[in-house]
Chains A and B, each alone.
Chain A
Amino acid sequence: MPENDLSILQTQAESRIAVADSDALEELRVALLGKSGTLTAALKALGAMPPEERKARGAELNLVKSALTQALATRRAVLDAAALEARLAAERIDVTAPVRPEAAGAIHPISRTTEEIAAIFSAMGFSIKEGPDIENDWNNFSALNIAAHHPARAMMDTFYLQGGEVLRTHTSPVQIRTMLDWAKNHSTQADAQPIRIIVPGRTFRADHDATHSPMFHQTEGLVIGRGITLGHLKGCLIDFLRAFFDIPALPVRLRASYFPFTEPSMEVDIGWNRKTGELGGGTDWLEIGGSGMVHPNVLANCGIDPREFQGFAFGVGIERLTMLKHGIADLRLFYESDVRWLRHYGFAALSPAMLHEGI
């Protein structure tokens, strides 16, 4: 092959490479550099040349081969880039489309409030006690200083089962169960650990209208020990209510009242604005629960000597606290299980009530 043929070959090959598509480029590569390609043949032919010619010819051939190899690679890169771009364009999806749906669950506001109450009282050293919904008369009434003829018993609107058991009208029977256990297990009451419990749970009264449900939830609190005073009752309730409503200066008022199982007895009020419903502001008062020093007769009924031990008890309605905290208007919808209401007022599954995260 004459030497100017080499430059012609290179020029022609380069111009064809520059416009080749992917398949043509491969054909060109094979035609030039393949086993029986033009340049391969020319390189093979070197062996038959006289040594002085071979050296010069070989150098030229290598230059051409290197240039064409480079040209092929450059073109391949261009083609690959174009192909990738075309593929990516073809793979475009509609990212505005909705995701795969996942049904969102929720936790009922009553459960949420109960958890918040537990979180706050845990910080005050309380534990949680539970008791049965179906109670005997003594636990629900007699032990709590509510004798059979007591007018307070008529006020209670009690549900009875056909066997004579009562559906507990309050969570207070669990106070009795707790104190009895305590009295039984401490034959020497001198070294007894004090009682500090809360009792959230279902309660029942035969009353059904816009503001009363035949089943509702209460939390009872009971603190028994030495030197527990009405001042502690007040401090405990104020500490709880301010934490629960997250209003550090929430006004809390105790007002003399009467319950058979406490003496003195007090209603618990918080300050609010009746017109706007805003808690903590305004000049109005809203009743939120009952409280008092445990009646000496109640202690004595459970075998605890009121000369030695004294304490306080309180009860708050869980629905009422929930309605106030979240501005929920209708009590009946708590139990209706309307999925729209449950979604609206329900709480996220994965944010449990924890004091350090805020409640």
Chain B
Amino acid sequence: MKFTLSWLKTWLETDASLEDILTTLSAIGLEVEGVENRADTLAPFVIAQVIEALPHPNADRLRACRVDVGDGVERSVVCGAPNARTGLRVVFAPPGAFVPGSGITLKIGEIRGVKSEGMLTSFSELGLEGDGEGIIELPADAPVGARYAKWAGLDEPAIEIAVTPNRGDALSVRGVARDLAAAGLGMLKPFAPAPIAGSGASAVVWHNSFPEACPWVLGRTVRHVKNTESPDWLKQRLESVGLRPINTLADITNFFTHDLGRPLHVFDADKIAGGFLELRRGNGESFTGLHGKEVQAGAEDCIIADAAGAQSLAGIVGGEATGCDEATTSVFIECALFDRVRITQTGQRTGIVSDARQRFERGIDSQLMPQALDAATAMVIELCGGEASEISEAGARPDWSRTAKLRFARIRSFGGSDIGPDEAVASLERLGFGVRARDAASVTLAVPSWRNDVAQPPALDQADVPGAAQAAIGAAEIEPEVDLIEEVLRLKGMDAIPPVSLPVEGLIQAPIYTPKQARTALARRVLAARGLLEAVTFSFLDHETAALFGDAPESLRLANPIAADLDQMRPTALATLSLAAARNVARGFGDLGLFEIGPAYAADTSQALAAAGLRLGETPLSALAPARKFDALDAKADAIAVLGALGVPMEGVTTTPGGASFYHPGQCGTLRQGPKTILAAFGTLHPALCARLDLPLGAVAFEIFLDAIAEPKRRKKAAPVLPAFQPIRRDFAFLVSAGTPAETLLRAAKGAERNLITQVALFDRYQGKGVPEGQVSLAIAVTIQPVEKSFSETELDAISAKIVAEVGKKTGGVLRG
């Protein structure tokens, strides 16, 4: 919503400064989005007269003009506009002027041998609305030498405010003035148009076949009008808020739309077939709208039709066929009340945005209609001449009267404010509320007809929960009061409310993370401490890439993706992380580690939380240790580190070879707790996947399924056993068949003497000379911890024999000779 200071002052009697007005607008909920003063951008442009315009000696399409700019010095200007002619008053731009519409700064030049000391400008070059053909033609009495912006009334601030969806009444200059007056910034001027005594029946009458969409409609014909250009004041007023003047009748409707928030429509009465206009449902027919596009209306859309068919999409856009132009001599003025919800739905269906739609959607003042029609009729007669008919009416004035009750104590107990009863009532009265009853504790007020947002019956959509019925009664009782408190607080300014810190129970608060939230935070720190960079990637990506990481079900496809490559919810964060990694590789950063803790979505639309990570390329270069490629066991190490830190008892965690299809089938595994619970997965990404996504071969990844991790048991630890005897190391090398999992061998060795063996470490894996084909030599170091006494060699030999036997039993391995 845009208006100028002078327009505002046609409704607001005030001495307030622009600064005060802007501050107050924002404070009371009419947020100022911008203030523009065109006098600033148009400062260099002055009114001039073309003394003589002659054809350019060297160019057919140019004219060489001598121009008087009012300073006694004649200028030579070369102009390309066909309407540059002798005697015309024009807008002149001197050298050095910045021309906003074309973005250039003028210089003195020479065009085909003729000096040009400036420019004669068009509306579009000045960034203004207006007919684009040629240069601006000013009337003969425009003062030569005067500043154009001042003469044209453009030298004042245009204020743009954001009007929230509840405040239809503030989509009018008068509505804004009313709010400012209520906030103490002046007096609202009265609106009391003289009634128009029409004569004769209207040549066009209303038929209403769709009262649900249009409960009440008024109209009248004005005959013998002359529809030309609007007078300057009206054109300037519209231009000042960015509207393009069209013709007087159309301009009048636009004026009332903005001035009173009262959209009107004018039909050329002579173009209406059958002498009636009918409000009815659309039947799929189409017509060309005033915006130049085809409009199609269905059964839920309200149209205005004559005997020939649809002529207007009610409350949204009029039709071209019945529009008013210079030839119009008889006009039918429409002034209607349309249903907000239906206008919104039709607007959303058709996608047509208009000033009228915006106002009907938010709700107009239903009681203003007769006066608004009279005011518009008066302006038509004043500017276009003619005689008004009687009013044609269909439907009836809707019952709108509502009251709302305010208990004064609630201003403090709900609003936290110490505004007193008198002040509260006074500011509500300035907004147009009328006191119906008042006592010491409360006031009951009539709600003004333009405040469609106040004290409407609550539109609830309640869940089936105990207490719903009582709650509904409560809402009906409380909501109007809250509306009133809002008005009182808003006009005073929220700054006036003293802040109060929330009371807390006790000084020391209990931890607020749930165990899962705490685990998530810890996992994040562990992974970052291991050298991985945390990323945050989108929850969606293209469905083809998603399919590479598992499933891309229709149930997770977006119906209205913002881009084709963001149309599928991700099955795992690894999918979007891989894309992120590939972007880094493309930038030349191919050695990296990324992780993300975020949601993965399942086909049933549920989501699970996982920590996913990727490592690419090699370890950092160093003279001290050769760089090496990351491998699947690096990813396993990341997963194990997190599980360990989260309190998972690691002795119970087993690794199963194999995993998801996006992994290399021979280089991936699953970490399990017991047979069922999958805690994590890891592996080398499948080479085909790497090729598809432009990732280097050998990239490794892991996922830790945080939802699967059980809350650690909060048991106190038993005292540790700290024997006084030195541990003993014994090394063994076993020949096992090549496919034997190392974990099986290590567990077998450990299990041979569970209470004495504290550690079993695999320190060599050898295949080749000396090891039979199909076998592998696995060398382990076993740490034996004597507890009660030192072991003799004989006892150690017995333990060793047990280890060899147990390994043989579990793996078929034999000691390597």
User: Contact between A234 and B460 (Cβ–Cβ < 8 Å)?
Assistant: no
Q: Knowing A132-B606, A335-B538 touch, does A231 contact B461 (C-beta < 8 A)?
A: no
Q: Taking beta carbons and an 8 Å cutoff, which residues of A are in contact with B?
A: 97-108, 110-111, 115, 118, 121-128, 130, 132-134, 138, 142-143, 145, 147, 149-152, 154-155, 159-165, 167, 180, 183-184, 187, 189, 196, 202, 204, 206-208, 214-215, 223, 227, 229-236, 238-239, 253-258, 260, 263-264, 266-267, 293, 295-297, 299-308, 310, 334-340, 342-343, 346, 348-350, 352
B486 in contact with A263 (CB, 8 Å): yes
Q: Answer whether residue B324 sits at the interface, using C-beta atoms and an 8 A cutoff.
A: no
B471 within 8 A of A: yes
The chain B residue with its CB closest to the CB of A350 is B529
The answer to whether A235 and B499 have CB atoms under 8 Å apart is: yes
User: Least Cβ distance of A304 to chain B in Å?
Assistant: 6
Residues of chain B at the chain A interface (Cβ within 8 Å): 26-29, 31, 164-167, 340-341, 344-345, 348, 361-362, 412-417, 458-463, 465-468, 470-475, 477-479, 482-483, 485-486, 489-490, 494-495, 497-502, 504-505, 509, 511-514, 517, 521, 524-540, 554-563, 566, 569, 577, 580-581, 583-584, 587, 589, 592-594, 597-599, 601, 605-607, 619-625
Q: Considering the chains assembled together, what is the distance between the CA atoms of A214 and B558 in angstroms?
A: 12
Query: How far is A303 from B472 in the complex, measured between Cα atoms in Å?
Result: 8
B462 contacts which chain A residues (CB < 8 A)?
Answer: 300-303
Instruction: Give Cα A171–Cα B743 distance, bound, in whole angstroms.
Output: 46
Query: B562 and A208: CB pair below 8 A?
Result: yes
- A304 to B462 Cα, complex, angstroms: 10
Q: Across the interface, do B27 and A234 meet the contact criterion of CB distance under 8 Å? A: no
| Shortest CB distance B398–A (Å) | 19
Q: How far is the CA of A110 from the CA of B534 in the complex (A)?
A: 10
CA distance A239 to B501 in the complex (A): 7
**Given known A-B contacts A264-B485, A302-B465, A256 and B27 have beta carbons under 8 A apart:** yes
Contact A352 B521 (CB under 8 A): yes
A257 to B161, CA, bound (A): 12
Picked from B361, B478, B529, the residue with its CB within 8 Å of the CB of A349 is B529
Q: Identify B622's interface contact among A101, A108, A161, A238, CB under 8 A.
A: A101
Q: Which residues of B contact A334 (CB under 8 A)?
A: 536
Q: Which of A108, A127, A147, A236 contacts B535 (CB 8 A)?
A: A108
Q: Are A337 and B525 in contact (CB under 8 A)?
A: no
Give 29 CB contacts A-B under 8 Å.
A107-B528, A111-B534, A124-B504, A133-B601, A138-B463, A151-B361, A154-B344, A159-B558, A184-B465, A204-B539, A227-B413, A229-B412, A229-B416, A230-B417, A234-B416, A234-B494, A234-B500, A235-B499, A256-B27, A256-B490, A258-B165, A296-B475, A301-B460, A302-B462, A306-B474, A306-B478, A337-B536, A337-B580, A350-B525
> Which of chain B's residues have a CB closer than 8 A to the CB of A302?
462-463, 465, 471
Decide: A134 and B569 in contact? CB cutoff 8 A.
Answer: yes
Bound-complex Cα distance A302 to B465 (A): 7
Separation of A264 and B488 alpha carbons in the complex (Å): 10
**Given A105-B593, A303-B468, A305-B471, CB of A133 within 8 Å of CB of B599:** yes
Across the interface, which residues of A come within 8 angstroms of B461, CB to CB?
138, 142-143, 147, 301
Q: Given contacts A161-B558, A184-B465, A296-B479, are A258 and B166 in contact (CB under 8 A)? A: yes
**B472 and A238 within 8 A (CB):** no
Seed contacts A229-B414, A337-B537; 16 additional CB < 8 Å A-B pairs: A97-B623, A98-B623, A100-B622, A149-B345, A151-B361, A152-B165, A154-B344, A196-B502, A230-B414, A235-B499, A235-B501, A254-B495, A258-B167, A260-B165, A307-B478, A349-B528
Q: Which residues of B contact A98 (CB under 8 A)?
A: 622-623
Closest to A124 in B: B502
Partner of A310, one of B27, B344, B414, B526: B414
Known: A105-B532, A132-B606, A161-B569. A208 touches B563 (CB 8 A): yes
Which residues of A have CB within 8 Å of B415?
Answer: 229-230, 264
Query: Are A128 and B517 also in contact (CB < 8 A) when A100-B625, A231-B499 are?
Result: yes
- Assess the B560–A160 pair: CB atoms within 8 A: yes
Give the distance in Å from the alpha carbon of A143 to the alpha carbon of B621 in the complex: 58
Which of A152, A162, A232, A255 contacts B500, CB < 8 Å? Answer: A232
> How far, in whole Å, are A125 and B507 apart by their CA atoms in the complex?
10
**Given A142-B461, A214-B562, A215-B538, is A231 in contact with B532 using a C-beta cutoff of 8 Å?**
no
Cβ contacts under 8 Å, B532 to chain A? 103, 105
Q: Is the CB of B502 within 8 A of A335?
A: no
Q: Which residue of B lies closest to A207 (CB)?
A: B562
Question: Could you tell me the distance between the alpha carbons of A204 and B415 in the complex, rounded to whole angstroms?
Answer: 32
Q: Which residue of B lies closest to A228 (CB)?
A: B502
**Min CB distance, A355 to chain B, in Å?**
10
CB distance B539 to A202 under 8 Å? yes
Whole-angstrom distance from the CB of B88 to the nearest CB of chain A? 45
Q: How far is the CA of A253 from the CA of B496 in the complex (A)?
A: 10
Closest chain-A Cβ to B248's Cβ sits at a distance in Å of: 32
Which chain A positions have C-beta within 8 A of B478?
Answer: 296, 306-307
Q: Which residues of A contact B167 (CB under 8 A)?
A: 258
Q: In the complex, A138→B499 CA distance in Å? A: 33
Q: A105-B530, A300-B475, A337-B580 are in contact. Are A118 and B164 (CB under 8 A)?
A: no
Complex contacts, A187 vs chain B, CB 8 Å: 466-467
User: Chain A residues with Cβ under 8 A from B563's Cβ?
Assistant: 208
Whole-angstrom CA separation of A349 from B494 in the bound complex:
41
CA distance A342 to B348 in the complex (A): 42
Q: Which residue of B lies closest to A160 (CB)?
A: B559
Q: Is the CB of B466 within 8 A of A303?
A: yes
A155 touches B583 (CB 8 A): no
B164 adjacent to A258 (CB under 8 Å): yes
The answer to whether residues A339 and B486 also contact, given A103-B620, A162-B559, A306-B471 and a CB cut-off of 8 A, is no
Closest chain B residue, CB of each to CB of A164: B559
Q: Are A163 and B605 in contact (CB under 8 A)?
A: yes
Bound complex: CA A184 to CA B500 (Å) = 30
Quick one: given A124-B502, A134-B601, A162-B555, are A297 and B165 in contact (CB under 8 Å)?
A: no
Q: Complex Cα distance A239/B624, Å?
A: 52
> Are A202 and B599 within 8 A (Cβ)?
yes
Q: Return the contact of A214 from the options B521, B533, B566, B577 (Cβ within 8 A).
A: B566
Report Cα–Cα, A337/B26, bound state, in Å.
Answer: 38
The answer to whether B537 and A300 have CB atoms under 8 Å apart is no
B531 touches A103 (CB 8 A): yes
Chain A residues within 8 Å of B416, by CB: 229-234
A340 to chain B, nearest CB (A): 7
Q: Is the CB of A107 within 8 A of B467?
A: no
Q: In the docked arrangement, what's the CA distance between A85 and B461, Å?
A: 90
A215 and B601 alpha carbons, distance in the complex (Å): 15
Q: In the bound complex, do residue B509 and residue A255 qualify as a contact, i.e. CB atoms below 8 Å apart?
A: no
Cβ-defined contact, A206 with B605, below 8 A? no
Known pairs A183-B466, A231-B497; A306 contacts B534 (CB<8 A): no
Residues of A within 8 A of B584 (CB): 337-339
Contact flag A161-B555 (CB < 8 Å), given A300-B472, A303-B467? yes
How far is B474's CA from A295's CA once the two chains are assembled, in angstroms?
12
B494 & A297 in contact (Cβ 8 Å cutoff): no
- Report yes or no: A115 in contact with B499, Cβ–Cβ below 8 A: no
- Please name the 6 residue pairs, one residue from A and one from B, whose CB atoms are nearest each other, closest first: A231-B416, A103-B531, A258-B164, A256-B29, A349-B528, A303-B465
Interface residue from A115, A122, A202, A305 paired with B521 (Cβ < 8 Å): A115
Q: Is the CB of B467 within 8 A of A231?
A: no
Q: Given the complex of chains A and B, what is the CA–CA distance between A111 and B40 in angstroms?
A: 46
Q: Could you tell me the distance between the alpha carbons of A10 and B468 in the complex, rounded to whole angstroms?
A: 118
Residue among B27, B531, B561, B592 facing the most chain A CB atoms (10 A cut-off)? B531
- Say whether A143 contacts B463, CB under 8 Å: yes
CB proximity of A133 to chain B, nearest CB, Å: 6
Q: How far is the CA of A91 from the CA of B328 in the complex (A)?
A: 107
Residues of B within 8 A of A189 (CB): 467
Say yes or no: B512 contacts A127, CB within 8 Å: yes
State whether B540 touches A215 (Cβ < 8 A): yes
CB within 8 Å for A299 and B471 given contacts A107-B534, A121-B512, A337-B580: yes
Instruction: State how many angstroms separate the Cβ of B553 from the closest Cβ of chain A.
Output: 10
Chain A residues, CB < 8 A from B474: 296, 299-300, 305-308
What residue in chain A is nearest B167 (Cβ atoms)? A258
